[in-house]
Amino acid sequence: GSNPAGADEFGDTSAPDAADAAEQVGAQLADRNTEVAVPLIAAVRQYVSLALSRSLAAADSMAQALGLGLFELALRHVRTYMRREMEVLLGEIVLPVVESRGAGSLAARARMLQTLARVAAQPQLVVELYLNYDCAEDAGVSVFQRLAEALCRLAGAHVGLPHKTSASYAVAADTDDSASAAAWRAVQQRMTAFNAHSNDADAGAHTAPTPALLTFGAERDTTSNGHGVYDEYAVRQLALDALAALLQSMVVWSDRLADPGAEPTARDSGTEAASEPSSGADPDDPHELLTIKTRKAQLAAGSRQFAWKPRKGIEAWRAAGLLTSNDPREVARFLYAHRGALDKVQLGEYLGEGDAHNVAVMHAFIDCVDFTHTAFVPALRRLLQAFRLPGEAQKIDRFMLKFAERFVMSNPDAGFANADAAYVLAYSVVLLNTDQHSPQVKHRMTRAEFISNNRGINDGSDLDPQMLSDVFDQVVNEEIKLKDDPLQGRVQGAQGSGSLFVLWGNSTAN
């Protein structure tokens, strides 16, 4: 089947941060005197994410259904450890399918709507989606907003009556008394703020509606092969069910805020333990959430300006108060902190400009990158994940000069006599990368030629031949190129936060 954008983003396991984390854990495990506690999800989440991305994008209905079941379980129980992965899955696969208008995707859309309806019926999970994506500056997808907009659009779509042979026809025409009665019973059974204080023994706990209740108006036609066939009316009914569950979860949240003494149930929370908030924001303060949401909107508006003209973006951020001055260090720290939301081509061009202010910003930007205890090629890869390296030789030269200085300062025992030696090798690695991976180059550089080209660069002496050979192998085996890796988050231990809702950890276990 065809994979939508992002379906294979988890297939790359060679990202610098992930590789470095694996090397650090391996080194710690190699030391028999060191005990390392690595959460199981930290060891398997990249494989779970890859399996989810492929199954959710699969053309086979059974594979997709199984993937949706696994996705729902992961979202309910291990979302605190998979914040970045869930953002990619929701933003690149699930929501685009729900938002699509093609008739060919009706079945897939219906399956995803059923899953989203069950997710939307959990107040704790709904609010945490809003907190961790819509109100997080480092999140590229406003999950709650996109989901609500998609459900409203589908629920309000004008569709004709289904065919008389369709199982949806009875509800649509309202001619089947039993169907109407079943629909009314389902509405009455849905927990609301108005019947939450009834005499029913279980009225105090909000329970997620079962799939049967969620889909009372969207029964499936069944063909001879047993596979479900959905019409547009059934899909609209599924969207209405999901939207009703979403609104009900908001009502439950409002009731809980009105009664802070009420403790959320384990069923509402969807996770056995809460993690510490990933920011200093109080997730129970609506005014603070509004401030964060506004700041995120201002950041996004400036990012769009930055993608057109970097200086315009910086001016927009200053006008919004996100930047308080034009000080190079403040600008650099801001750009580095929000590099994931910026156009990396424009970021590279801006940092590579030759005027004094841009050079100062570039120096401060590279100073934000930690190269400590990192090998030469992985360190260069890490730097070049932050922006796209410009093509002009003068700009590359300025970047490599500063990189060499920063690398030698962070790794004084790396074998370089001075920063000049690291600079020459860095530039040589950039040339080797082009030589080995450009389709225009017919005759590739050999290992012996690479080592020969770098003789005498270490303050008149030679660098370690084994190190140069390792550098050659690393570049030949894997091209140094920009790639947006969604597995950069770091796992944080789950701990109680004491607040109603949880900001999920966004960082990998070391």
Which residues are the active-site residues?
A: 392
Query: Which of 315, 144, 169 has its CA nearest to residue 242?
Result: 144
Query: Which of 442, 443, 447, 440 has its CA nearest to residue 476?
Result: 447
Cβ-proximal residues to 51 (8 Å cutoff; 6+ apart), any chain? 67, 70
Distance CA 17, CA 510 (A): 10
3 state SS for 29-83: HHCCCCCCCCCHHHHHHHHHHHHHHHHHCCCCHHHHHHHHHHHHHHHHHCHHHCH
- DSSP for residue 500: S
The phi and psi torsions of 461 (rounded to 5 degrees) equal -110, 175
Distance CA 171, CA 414 (A): 73
Classified as helix, coil or strand, 198 is: coil
Helix axes 376-383, 16-30, angle to 10 degrees: 140
- Convert 16-46 to b/e letters by CB count within 10 Å (16 or more is b): bbbebbeeebeeeeeeeeeeeeeeebbeebb
| Amino acid, single-letter form, for residue 281 | A
Distance CA 241, CA 420 (A): 65
Q: Please state, in angstroms and as integers, the Cα–Cα distance from residue 148 to each residue in 59, 152, 339, 504, following that order.
A: 26, 6, 28, 21
- One DSSP character per residue, 177-191 reads HHHHHHHHHHHHHS-
**Torsion sign across C-alpha atoms 296, 301, 304, 305:** negative
Contact 309, 155 (CB under 8 A): no
CA atoms within 13 A on the CB side of 189: 14
**Torsion sign across C-alpha atoms 285, 288, 293, 296:** negative
Contact 127, 135 (CB under 8 A): no
Beta bridge partners of 490: 507
User: 446 burial class (0-12, 13-18, 19+ CB within 10 angstroms)?
Assistant: exposed
- DSSP for residue 229: E
Distance CA 49, CA 205 (A): 32
